[in-house]
Structure 1
Amino acid sequence: MIKQQILELFSSRCQQLYLQADITPSFLEFIQNPQRKKYIASGSAQEELREVFKIRKLDQYFDGIYASPSTKSENIKHILNLENSKNAIMFGYAISDLEASLDNQINFIAYRPYSNVPDKLATESQMKGFSVIDQWTELV
């Protein structure tokens, strides 16, 4: 009972933070490119994430949002199967994003500003031959 209450409180607080968070600078300009399919593979709770994206009207930019309870790696595999292609790039700020891209043998671009371990992420990404960016404008 207590465990469930803690999980519900955590979930509620995460959702509040998602709803209040600023959009990353230049991200909307980057994501509005209609020529590419875009998906989300996240470690967050799937239904919660989908709801937040819908409320913030960000869901319109993505072809699918996949998250927990499946792992990032499983979600990427699912997306690749949907598209019947391995021609994909994972953008991420976590080591788990890098690992999920390696598990699925796809390209990766590390986004350093929001990483908890920016130097480690940059070093490990570059050692694997992947790019590292500090701003979305580097890709626009």
Structure 2
Amino acid sequence: MLKLKFNEDGLIPAIIQDKKSKKVLMLAYMNDIAYKKTLKTRKTWFYSRSRNKLWMKGEKSGNIQIVKEIFIDCDMDTLLITVEPKGPACHKGYDSCFYRTEKGKITEKRIFDPKKVYKKQVEIKSINKNKTKNT
């Protein structure tokens, strides 16, 4: 395995691209653990800088990404991961996180309403929490 160059925070940027359409879907960061989990499971795993934790793409929405190929840039400090997406990549409901221009024009159709998708997850967590308290 090639030696990747993680930054001073132990992260490496990962550009996620639809294998079939070539559309750039998102940019996220991986730490060493997320990279290894991605290699092992062939699903995309990332490190959330805001939540300081690992997460698998689609763990809440169901919109997972099946890894097809991983490319490493010439400096060994950026990844390009081609995937077969099983739904939109953007948590705002669009196929790509890059759905608007610099002038704010929306260039894609919203596929799902994030309030409905993520509200279900909050409700499920609440139900599960109540079940745990009652047992």
Per the normalisation by structure 2, the TM-score is 0.28
Q: Which has the larger radius of gyration?
A: 2
TM-score by length of 1: 0.28
The answer to which structure has the higher helix fraction is 1
Looking at secondary structure, tell me which structure has more strand per residue. Answer: 2
